Structure formats: C-alpha cells, structure tokens
Amino acid sequence: MTAILLDGDVLARRRFDELAARVVSLAKRGVVPRLATVLVGDNPASQSYIGRKHENCAELGMASDDIRLRGDISEDALIAQVEALNADPLIHGALVQLPLPAHLDEGRVGEAVSPAKDVDGLHPMNLGRLLAGTPGLLPCTPAGIEDLLRAHDVPLAGRRVAIIGRGMLVGRPLAMLLSLPGTDAEVTLLHRRSPDLAEVTRQADVVVSAAGQPDLVTADMIRPGAAVVGVGITYVDGGMVSDIADEVAQVAGHITPRHGSVGAMTRAHLLSNLVRIAEAG
Ligand code: GUN
C-alpha cells in the first residue's frame, strides 16, 4: 500500500490564501493585523520557527514585530515586556516562543499574555475554555492537525485516535479538541513509556505522535490503512529525525511527509487566530 500524503505545506498555502482575502477586507476598514513575537536567547530552532512566522505575516500583508531579548533577562523584565504588548492597541496578537531558558517559569510568563491576544491559544483561560467545551482561541498545532485530517476526509467520529505525547503544546490539547462533543472521536492519550503503547496504536484508526523520540512509531504498531501524523522531531547530528519510522508509509493509508507539514499548519492556525482577533476589533 502506498499512503496518501497529508501534505500540510500544500494545505497551509490554501489556508494562507483564504486568510490573505480576509486581510484585504480588513485593510478596507483601515485595520492591519499585527503580531508581536518575543524570543528569549538564541535557540537556533526557535530562531528558525520565529523567522517563518514573520515571513508568513509579510506574505499575507500583515504587520509583525520581532522582539529579541537576551537569554539572561529576568522573569520580571520579560513579563513587563509582555504587559507592554498587552497594553499596545496596535498589537492584535502576541506570543512568547518556547522553550524559555531554564531560569524562566514558562507557566508564569504564558499567563502574562492577555487571553484576548493569545494567538498561540495556550493561555490557561483558552485551554480551560477548550476543556469546558466552549472553545475560544484554539491551540495552533492541535487545530492544524484536525484541519489536516478533515481536509483529507479522514473520518474522526466514532473512530479510535491514539495520541502519543502528553505535552501542553500538542498532546493534551489535541486530546481535548478531538474528544469535544461533535467530533466524537474516542481518544487515548499515551506517552513513550505507556505500558501497552503498541497494543493501543494497533487498534487505532488515527495515530498522532508528538513524543519527540526518533523512529518511535514503527510499521508493526500501525493497523493497515490507518492515518499517521508525525509531529515530534528530534535533531540528531544536525539533521531532523521524525517520531515516525520511514517503513510506516508502507502500511498507513494516510501519512504526513517525513519533515515539515504540521509546522506549516501550526503557522496557518496561528495567523488564523490573529485575523480572527483583528476582525473582532
Ligand atoms: N515552540 C514550539 N512550538 C511553539 C508554539 O506553537 N508556540 C510557542 N509560543 N512556542 C513554540
């Protein structure tokens, strides 16, 4: 079997085109969506992720501010910077790129971002609304994964979805999103040390891995025809290695390409949140 590609780069391009049309409508009202990002320190992967967010903003005719702060900044000074962005009426959305240097408390910094400007959808208020079943701004990677699956007609209602990785950026909020009434997936949240990992994934119609362990998911763990989404990426000897082993493409019905794909969908949903905030005025 040759799996159908869940190509997030192609779908994100479509989503960007749809957003560009909404940006044009906003411009007619004199509104230019504006994103502010805060990067602390010089993590090379974070620099590259942030760079792409600003490239996408420019392509879509949106404004953006790329704020870079020293890696040894104090937590109070960082929070003061975030509060200045909250108070700036020209900024519609703000985010602090993760991970932060170890001396900074990611929870406290994340809570400092105004929930109304939380384009990441990761503020406890927005995560809490998702949990409560009254979603506000959605977390971008989970929203991007759901969009990628739906756009390729991968059924979710009444299907078993196994999610590997219980992190706050992907696994836990994705489990909340896909188990909302109306989506009706049966979700199992696993992690790399789950005792029955392979038994559970073998029963699943959809497997999402966001564990960050190279080649964790092998062909024998996948039911023939299942959809497989690789999110986790590990940097090994300067190269990127996916959670999903190459051989999985031989058994899966749908699969993400070995690299990229979900990253573009994350950015599409980040900018969708930004446009939504700007439209709400
Ligand atoms: N680091 C990796 N992914 C993300 C993301 O989606 N948002 C933020 N703020 N940091 C990240």
List, for residues 229-270, the tens digit of each pLDDT value: 999 989 888 888 999 999 999 999 999 998 768 999 999 999
Whether 144 is in a domain gets the answer yes
Ligand 1 nearest atom to the CA of residue 139, by list position:
6
Catalytic residue, candidates 7, 118, 120, 205: 120
How far apart CA 118 and CA 136 sit, in angstroms, is 10
User: How many angstroms is it from 224 CA to the middle of ligand 1?
Assistant: 32
Whether 132 is in a domain gets the answer no
Determine if ligand 1 sits within 6 Å of the CB of residue 50. no
Give the ipTM: 0.90
Domain co-membership, 108 together with 173: no
- The percent of residues above 90 in pLDDT, for the chain, comes to 92
Domain with residue 66: its CATH number is: 3.40.50.10860
Residue-number span of the structural domain to which 178 is assigned: 140-263
* CA torsion, ordered 110, 116, 122, 125, to nearest 10 deg: 90
Whether 128 is in a domain gets the answer no
Checking if the pLDDT of 160 tops 90, the result is yes
User: How many angstroms is it from 29 CA to the middle of ligand 1?
Assistant: 31
Whether 273 is in a domain gets the answer no
Q: Say whether 220 is catalytic.
A: no
pLDDT tier at 281, thresholds 50, 70, 90 = confident
The total number of structural domains that make up the chain: 2
Domain co-membership, 77 together with 164: no
Integer-rounded Cα radius of gyration of the chain: 19
For 202-213, the pLDDT digits (tens) are 999 999 999 999
Reference 242, options 132, 129, 164, 174; nearest CA is 164
Domain co-membership, 151 together with 233: yes
Determine if ligand 1 sits within 6 Å of the CB of residue 169. yes
Whether 85 is in a domain gets the answer yes
What pLDDT was estimated at residue 2? 82
Give the Cβ contact number of residue 149 at 10 Å.
22
For 71-84, the pLDDT digits (tens) are 999 999 999 999 99
Domain co-membership, 158 together with 256: yes
Domain co-membership, 78 together with 183: no
Domain boundary among 116, 149, 169: 116
- The more confident residue out of 143 and 233 is 143
Beta bridge partners of 38: 67, 96
Q: Name residues whose C-beta falls within 8 Å of residue 241's C-beta, 6 or more positions apart in sequence.
A: 214, 215, 233, 234, 235
pLDDT tier at 1, thresholds 50, 70, 90 = low
Q: Say whether 53 is catalytic.
A: yes
Q: Any idea which residue has 């964790």 for tokens?
A: 216
DSSP strands (E only) in the chain: 4-5, 34-40, 63-69, 93-96, 160-164, 186-190, 206-209, 227-230, 233-236, 239-242, 254-255
Domain with residue 181: its CATH number is: 3.40.50.720
User: How many angstroms is it from 27 CA to the middle of ligand 1?
Assistant: 28
Beta-strand pair 254-255/4-5:
parallel
